[in-house]
Amino acid sequence: MSAREAFGPNLRRLRLQRGVSLEDIARTTNVSVALWAGLERNDFSRWPTGIYARSYLRDYARAIAEDPESIVDEFCRCFPEGDRRLGQIAREHAAIVGHVSAWRDEIPATLAEGDRRAAPPAHAQPAAASGMLVHMRVLLRRAFGRA
């Protein structure tokens, strides 16, 4: 059984070992029993994605007295629903307000096989930071009528 296949069943096993019912978790988190049961079956068809999925998992981990961050990290490694990258969200928000987004959130090829949370190379940071500062300055000038 792969780590992905074992994720939900392992959470269920830990919950049962600690004597916590799904109803108890649902009552304390205001999330339905059906959603928690889906988690334990690795069925994320009705689950939210991104920050909401990670938040739900943190609540579940606290309810079964497990380390929330290690559970969330494992979830993010195994399932796309926990993706921490912002590209899709940024593009959707830009579309809502009719803005052409220049957002890029791809994983550099050097990090694709390793830890995706690793920092970009030091030589890339100043250019990105200065570009962001220029962009922020333009936005602020527009907002305050000094463009």
Q: What is the pLDDT of residues 83-122, one digit of tens each?
A: 665 566 667 777 788 877 665 655 555 544 555 455 555 5
Q: How far apart are CA 142 and CA 78, in angstroms?
A: 43
More confident residue, 126 or 55: 55
Q: Where in the chain is the domain with CATH 1.10.260.40?
A: 3-82
Phi, psi dihedrals of residue 88, rounded to the nearest 5°: -65, -45
List, in order, residues 6 or more apart from 17 with CB less than 8 Å away.
Answer: none
**Whether pTM exceeds 0.85:** no
Written out in words, the top-level CATH class of the domain with range 3-82 is mainly alpha
List, in order, residues 6 or more apart from 135 with CB less than 8 Å away.
Answer: none
Q: How far apart are CA 147 and CA 141, in angstroms?
A: 5
**Nearest partner of 26 among 18, 38, 17, 35, judged by Cα:** 35
Residue-level pLDDT at 85: 56
